[in-house]
Structure 1
Amino acid sequence: MDTHHALVARLQRYVASTLPLVGDLRPHPQHDALPLGFRTSHVPLVGTVGTRTLTFLITTVGAPAAAARAAAQVGRILQTSDIVLVTERLTAAQRRGLIAAHTAFIVPDAHLWLPMLSMLFCERSSPPPAAALQPATQALLVHWYHHGVDSCPTLAQAARTLGYSTMTMSRAFTALAARQPPGLRIERHQRERRCVSTLARQDLWNAYAHFATSPVVETVLARRSPSLDELPLAGISALAACSDLAPPPITIRALDVVRRRQSRWQLSLVEAHEEPDDAVVQLEIWAYPARLHDEASPTVEPLSLALSLSAADREDPRVAQALRAMGAIT
């Protein structure tokens, strides 16, 4: 184990800062049960993440298929299916191979894929812009979270339900297929595509949540009007309507970009302090519909609401409590 000391130390720091690790990683008590040839090339550590005990297998990965077979063999010997390969580096091809083999892995400070915790492969550093979910993809996942995949499992049904073109929804299905976790499949039947999922709704959302972004593309101030007062409450205003939080001086509401383009929404924009607070509305322009959970809701969709808040707001314990009460965070 001494030859792996530096990697073990990095793993300990990385796991402790990234996952809900309970205590420290420790040598696996059944290490000596491994075949002699495995003991120097595969060093098992055990740790508790949340309520789950994982075995972290320090090793060097060559061919992904061989590494996956070795991990499975170690798992059988140690009587666990929760094996996580830990190595210094992985190429993109190796990562794809391990994901295809459903073999969890960690490269400390770089890559992580833990399907048993519904944590999809991610970079610990800021992901490139291309990694973010596009609005239609995120809207589809949010809709499935509230209504289930069976509410619109095919590309055509999803396009009709969410009001997107088939081309836009085709890109959404392609994006989901490129990152599909175990338990979700995008199947093709002639020209149609269908999503088949055995995941619970929360697990499906969690699998892609790392790539989710704020739905807010612009914020403007507008004079109040009867039509604006019909829009759902957003931001702190939405949280205040569902909790003991004090509402902000200027009410915050959400309007999606498609509806804003409609002739009905001729906004009378104002500058800050140009009108009294009760005469204006702070409008968040959203990239997708704000009531994907319930068309009659007085507030915006909870998951998207949490994503729309600033980091400073999310760190406020009162805001976090209100989000939990709305079901936006667990």
Structure 2
Amino acid sequence: MLVSGCRFHDWAWLGQKLILIECGADISPAEARARRSPLMEHFKQTVVFVYAALEAHQRSQLVRSGVPFIVPGLQWFIPPFAVFTERFQRIASAKALSGAAQAAVLFHILRSPAEGALLRQWAGWLGYSAMTLTKVRDELVGAGLCRREPGAKPRGLRFLHRKRALWDTARPYLRSPVKKSSWVKLAAPSPLLIPAGLTALEKTTLVGDEPLPTWACSEPVWRRLLGAGQVRDARRPEDADARVERWRYEPGLLGGNGAVDPLSLHLSFADAADERVRLAADSLLERVPW
């Protein structure tokens, strides 16, 4: 009953135990469909056929028949855990989350929204389009942080972990929110700029003595301030009266009350050369209500 010439592998994915059946081109889609049920009965687990390559019509046959399969680096179909996608290679090779996806992870940790909230709700909370949230969902599923809902059109985000467990699992994919920083001359204080960097860190830790304040804004706000003449590039710190960080997402999104959130602030010091600063940044994690 078992398929001769094939290799079998145990695989744990998204909390599920699966059996991978690596047969090359020896099993056609029709044979896979016929052998799927006996194999599942034998292993008592979902079986997934692994192919080196598939023609479009072969993929269609497998999808229509509901037969799970993987073409490594190209396509996968594992119902009900993941619908057919051809973006596996791009998602799996991602070394860090996009700004929008990172914002979603931190929002879930800090705000604890309702489980399975719809993408349109997430779009409203984070200030992104529904299309962007669709890409965010694919990123988070690919990183193993969310599970994909069954069905052709999954509608929400379902994280696999919460609070500290989510932070620890996601940490390898998280990066500093700071995209770029500039020394600037400010025409006048702006409510669009939020205290960040050492300026924010010294409010809650013993680190201080920063000669110039550090502010943060998103890239669109930076362009707006620059166009209005409210900030001017000073090029050198001795000619500046502030430093402005441009973040990958809105810096005030998660902190509230005109402050950056502790997790983003912690991440912004991930590569700090000063050990005293790194220790102060690490202490921010103790203030998070895990």
> Any conservation in 1 of the 2:184–2:231 contact (CA below 8 Å)?
yes
Residues 186-265 of structure 1: matches in 2 within 5 Å?
186-187=148-149, 191=153, 193-197=155-159, 199-228=161-190, 231-262=193-224
Residues 225 and 66 (structure 1 numbering): CA distance in 2 closer, same or farther, change over 3 Å?
Answer: closer
Identify unmatched segments of 5+ residues in structure 2.
1-6, 20-70, 80-91
Partner of 2:263: 303
* Aligned match of 2:9: 64
Aligned-partner residue type, residue 284 of structure 1 = E
Residue equivalent to 2:132: 168
In 2, are the aligned partners of 1:149 and 1:195 still within 8 Å (CA)?
no
| Separation in structure 2 between the aligned mates of residue 240 and residue 259 of structure 1, nearest angstrom | 24
Q: Take 1:146 and 1:265, find their aligned partners in 2: how far apart are those partners?
A: 35
The alignment's TM-score, normalised by the length of structure 1, stands at 0.54
Deviates more, 1:238-247 or 1:320-329: 320-329
2:96 maps to what in 1? Answer: 132
- Alpha-carbon distance, 1:311 to partner: 2.4
Residues 69, 210 of structure 1: alpha-carbon distance in 2 compared, 3 angstrom cutoff: closer
Gaps of 5+ in 1: 1-61, 71-91, 101-126
1:322 aligns with 280
Counterpart residue number, 1:292? 253
Displacement of 1:153: 2.1
Q: Which letter maps to 1:165?
A: S
Report matched runs for 1:49-60 at 5 Å: none
Q: Which residue of 1 aligns with 2:235?
A: 271
Q: Is 1:179 paired with 2:124?
A: no
In structure 2, give the amino acid aligned to 1:64.
H
Cα distance in 2 for residues equivalent to 1:287 and 1:66 = 35
CA distance in 2, matches of 1:137, 1:164: 11
Q: Whole-Å Cα distance in 2 between the matches of residues 167 and 131 of structure 1?
A: 22
Pair 1:198–1:172, CA change in 2 (3 A): closer
Q: Which amino acid aligns with 1:290?
A: P
Matches within 5 A, 1:105-144: 130-144=94-108
Q: In structure 1, the residue corresponding to 2:156 is in which secondary structure?
A: strand
Check the 8 A contact 2:272/2:278 in 1, yes or no.
no
In angstroms, what is the RMSD of aligned CA positions?
A: 3.8
Structure 1 residues 258 and 192 mapped into 2: Cα distance closer, same or farther (>3 Å)? Answer: farther
Instruction: Report the identity percentage.
Output: 24
Alignment partners' CA distance in 2, 1:265 and 1:151: 44
Deviation at 1:190, TM superposition (A): 6.3
Deviation at 1:170, TM superposition (A): 0.8
What is the identity, as a one-letter code, of the residue corresponding to 2:166? L
C-alpha separation in 2, matches of 1:66 and 1:152: 26
Instruction: Specify which structure has the bigger relative contact order, considering alpha-carbon pairs within 8 angstroms and separated by 6 or more residues.
Output: 2
Per-residue displacement from partner, 1:196-227 (whole Å, max 9, x unpaired)? 34632221222221011222111111113444
1:265–1:305 distance in 2 versus 1, CA, 3 Å: farther
Partner residue of 2:58? Answer: none
Contact 1:323 1:329 in 2 (8 A): no
CA distance 1:324–1:265, shift in 2 (3 Å) = farther
Which segments of structure 1 move beyond 4 Å, counting only runs of 4 or more? Answer: 66-70, 188-192, 263-266
